[in-house]
Amino acid sequence: MLVALQKRKENIVEYIIYMWHVEDLLRSCRFNMDEIETLIIAAYQQPEEVKQEIRQWYQDLIKMAFDEGIVEKGHLLFLKNIVSALAALHDRLLHTPHETVYGSLYYKALPAIVQLRAKRGIEIEFGASVGDHVSSEIETCLTAVYGYFILKLQAKNISAETTESIKHISQLLAFLAAKFHETEND
């Protein structure tokens, strides 16, 4: 909770990646508060009243996951809404003539985005995917960065090509996050 609050204030992309990781942690603990207490909450060096707020935060996330039917896979609705807001901002920036830096970052990342979407079976032209899930380019970018993060955590070998692709995607997302922060504070 403490890390999430800080990331939410500072960098929306890091916040999404962090929260996706929290969702996976909850799943790995089988949404069991005893396991969450032992593995996560106990590690916080905080007063008991802060730990109680953290417990409540995890309990609220668990309730949302069950209520929204994302126990096995998927993302919480409020995170999907943020991703949608980022995707809308992405589209606006691409269609704003004076946003040349963003356009340049986008075109550097575009080959990787196209390749990732092709691997996931997403038809770019029509914005439709296999099944009922429609993925924006920004969701594809976030998923790629999260996958890279997981590979790094697992100490897996990562190709130079993948590392370069993630670098371009990360630069695009960093710029987008900064613009998101600007629009939120306007």
Which tens digit of pLDDT belongs to each residue from 122-134?
443 333 333 334 4
Domain end call among 12, 45, 67: 67
**Tens digits of residue pLDDT in 111-122:** 999 999 888 764
- Whether residues 83 and 168 fall in one domain: yes
Residue-level pLDDT at 108 = 97
Answer yes or no: is 92 within a domain.
yes
Say yes or no: 58 and 92 in one domain: no
The last residue of one of the domains, among 67, 94, 119, is 67
Cα gap 62→58, rounded to integer Å = 6
94/179 same-domain check = yes
Three-class SS state of 76: coil
Q: Are residues 34 and 53 in the same domain?
A: yes
- β-partners of residue 129 are 122
User: Is residue 72, in this structure, part of any structural domain at all?
Assistant: no
Residues 49 and 123 in one domain: no
Phi-psi label, residue 123: left if phi above 0, alpha if psi -120 to 50, beta otherwise: beta
Question: Do 11 and 102 reside in the same domain of the chain?
Answer: no
Check: CB of residue 35 under 8 Å from CB of residue 50.
no
Residues 162 and 88 grouped into a single domain: yes
* Residue 90: domain span: 77-184
Helix ranges, 29-159 (H): 33-39, 48-67, 77-94, 100-119, 137-153
146 found inside a domain: yes
Q: How many domains does the chain have?
A: 2
For residue range 42-93, what is the model confidence (pLDDT) as tens digits? Answer: 999 999 999 999 999 999 999 999 999 999 999 999 999 999 999 999 999 9
Which is higher by pLDDT, 126 or 97? 97
Question: Do 107 and 62 belong together in one domain?
Answer: no
The verdict on residue 98 lying in a domain is yes
Instruction: For 151-179, write each residue's pLDDT tens digit.
Output: 999 999 999 999 999 999 999 999 999 99
Q: Does the residue 165 lie in any domain?
A: yes
Q: Quick one: average pLDDT of 19-30?
A: 97
Q: Structure tokens of 80?
A: 């999907």
CB 140 within 8 A of CB 133: no
In angstroms, rounded to a whole number, what is the distance separating the alpha carbons of residues 134 and 121?
11
Q: What is the DSSP letter of 72?
A: S
Residues 180 and 160 placed together within one structural domain of the fold: yes
